[in-house]
């Protein structure tokens, strides 16, 4: 029997509710099969850890994670700690430390979900946003001088490297190729940003030659927001810089009905390090500890985790369970306009998984 080692980092706020829920559904999947099991290791890193130790994670944190097959992450963010500390001290430390340069964000309108787009038929919104996850606007390059004086200056410099752009373009073209429509939109802003974004466009064109069977187009990021709303069916796979994709993926999640549903994978495509999977939503301190969080974003992230570690059948089984559950309005959490609790949704997904496995065994 194969054992997958999964590091669980609930982090802050509702992360502490949705990550255990994710473990429950992974456990239900493993219990219904006989060929693999999960070994979970929990890490209590985040805001409370920071209050005790002055850091979000220990100095050897990456070493503790190195041998794991994947990481299931909740969220980082604390009302009493500045956001740039929680972010750079934990999530970005892992993303950048493990060179998880491809951030993958699929979006679809799941069954039963009321999404805001009027002009959107079934299947019209089926996107994957590929976010450059290692450099660009999040490179962390910049500084402040003359702090507090009238002549104070501050910079955040976006860094793009040829190697960094090449590898994310290759990843995005390959992902587009693996999807039925083989269609990629390269998001840019080279009309205004005339250095790095022009290089971005040039490299897209070069890499496109390696993927002659993928249709592709270029869209300016501002125009892309309008296209997402007005012509969703013209998009399939998108690739964008770190910040552009950050913004577009929130729009995508909202257009698909709720930020509570959307998943993310922070992927090291070369598999030198563990990849990390997390719901797109934040720590949501306003509802924490009340059992109201929507765990679907975490469950869908578990689907991506299962695909990544090489269990596509389990991934498909979990996705089917998620869709069966979202189809039932009685199982909608508050973000979807319902009254269901985190535990109701979790139990329903686990039961669906178990029932499917039993039915298959009986057949």
Q: How many residues in the shown chain lie near Mg ion by CB under 5 A?
A: 1
Residue number with the smallest Cβ distance to Mg ion? 246
What are the C-alpha distances in Å from 77 to residues 13, 179, 349?
Answer: 7, 34, 27
Q: What's the gap between Cα 308 and its chain centre? A: 13
Length, in residues, of the chain: 363
In the complex, least distance from residue 335 CB atom to ligand IPM, rounded to whole angstroms = 16
Nearer to ligand IPM (CB atom), residue 83 or residue 152: 83
Which of 293, 268, 252 has its CA nearest to residue 105?
252
Q: Does residue 135 interact with ligand IPM by CB under 6 A? A: no
In the complex, least distance from residue 280 CB atom to ligand IPM, rounded to whole angstroms = 6
Which of 42, 26, 37, 41 has its CA nearest to residue 4?
37
Which token pair is 293?
């969080």
Nearer to ligand IPM (CB atom), residue 105 or residue 189: 105
In the complex, least distance from residue 175 CB atom to ligand IPM, rounded to whole angstroms = 18
Q: Does residue 174 interact with ligand IPM by CB under 6 A? A: no
Nearer to ligand IPM (CB atom), residue 105 or residue 167: 105
Residues 6+ apart with CB under 8 A from 326: 110, 111, 112, 113, 261, 296, 332
Structural element, H or E, at residue 7: strand 2-11
Q: Does residue 137 interact with Mg ion by CB under 5 A? A: no
Residue number with the smallest Cβ distance to ligand IPM? 246
Residues 6+ apart with CB under 8 A from 132: 101, 102, 103, 164, 165, 168, 239, 240, 241, 242, 245
In the complex, least distance from residue 314 CB atom to ligand IPM, rounded to whole angstroms = 25
In the complex, least distance from residue 87 CB atom to ligand IPM, rounded to whole angstroms = 5
Task: Give me the 209-248 binding string for Mg ion, x by CB under 5 A, dash otherwise.
Answer: -------------------------------------x--
Q: Does residue 87 interact with ligand IPM by CB under 6 A? A: yes
In the complex, least distance from residue 82 CB atom to Mg ion, rounded to whole angstroms = 17
Among 17, 246, 268, 344, binds ligand IPM (CB under 6 A): 246
Q: What is the Cα–Cα distance from 73 to 279, expressed in whole angstroms?
A: 8
Nearer to ligand IPM (CB atom), residue 74 or residue 112: 74
Which of 323, 324, 305 has its CA nearest to residue 315?
305
Residues that bind Mg ion (CB under 5 A): 246
Residues that bind ligand IPM (CB under 6 A): 87, 246, 282
């Amino acid at each position: 029997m194969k054992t997958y080692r999964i590091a669980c980092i609930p982090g802050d706020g509702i992360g502490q509710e949705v990550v255990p829920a994710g473990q429950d559904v992974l456990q239900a999947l493993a219990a219904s099969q006989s060929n693999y099991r999960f070994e979970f290791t929990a890490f209590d890193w985040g805001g409370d850890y920071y209050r005790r130790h002055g850091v979000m994670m220990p100095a050897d944190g990456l070493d503790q994670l190195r041998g794991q097959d994947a990481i299931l992450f909740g969220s980082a963010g604390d009302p009493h700690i500045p956001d740039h500390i929680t972010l750079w001290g934990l999530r970005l430390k892992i993303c950048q430390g493990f060179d998880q340069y491809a951030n993958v964000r699929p979006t679809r309108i799941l069954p039963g979900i009321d999404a805001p787009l009027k002009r959107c038929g079934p299947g019209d919104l089926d996107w994957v946003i590929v976010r450059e996850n290692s450099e660009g606007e999040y490179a962390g390059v910049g500084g402040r001088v003359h702090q507090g004086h009238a002549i104070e200056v501050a910079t955040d410099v976006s860094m793009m490297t040829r190697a960094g752009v090449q590898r994310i373009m290759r990843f995005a073209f390959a992902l587009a190729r693996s999807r039925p429509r083989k269609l990629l939109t390269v998001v840019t802003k080279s009309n205004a940003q005339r250095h790095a974004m022009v290089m971005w466009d040039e490299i897209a064109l070069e890499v496109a030659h390696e993927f002659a069977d993928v249709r592709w187009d270029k869209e300016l990021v501002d125009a892309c927001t309008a296209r997402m709303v007005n012509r969703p069916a013209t998009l399939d796979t998108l690739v964008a810089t770190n910040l552009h994709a950050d913004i577009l993926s929130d729009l995508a999640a909202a257009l698909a009905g709720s930020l509570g549903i959307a998943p993310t994978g922070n992927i090291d495509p070369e598999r030198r390090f563990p990849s990390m999977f997390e719901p797109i939503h934040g720590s949501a301190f306003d509802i924490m500890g009340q059992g109201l969080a929507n765990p679907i974003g975490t469950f869908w992230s578990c689907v991506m985790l299962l695909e990544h570690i090489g269990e596509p059948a389990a991934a498909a089984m979990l996705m089917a369970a998620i869709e069966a559950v979202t189809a039932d309005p009685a199982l909608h959490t508050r973000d979807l306009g319902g009254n269901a609790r985190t535990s109701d949704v979790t139990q329903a997904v686990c039961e669906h998984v178990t029932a499917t496995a039993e039915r298959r065994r009986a057949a």
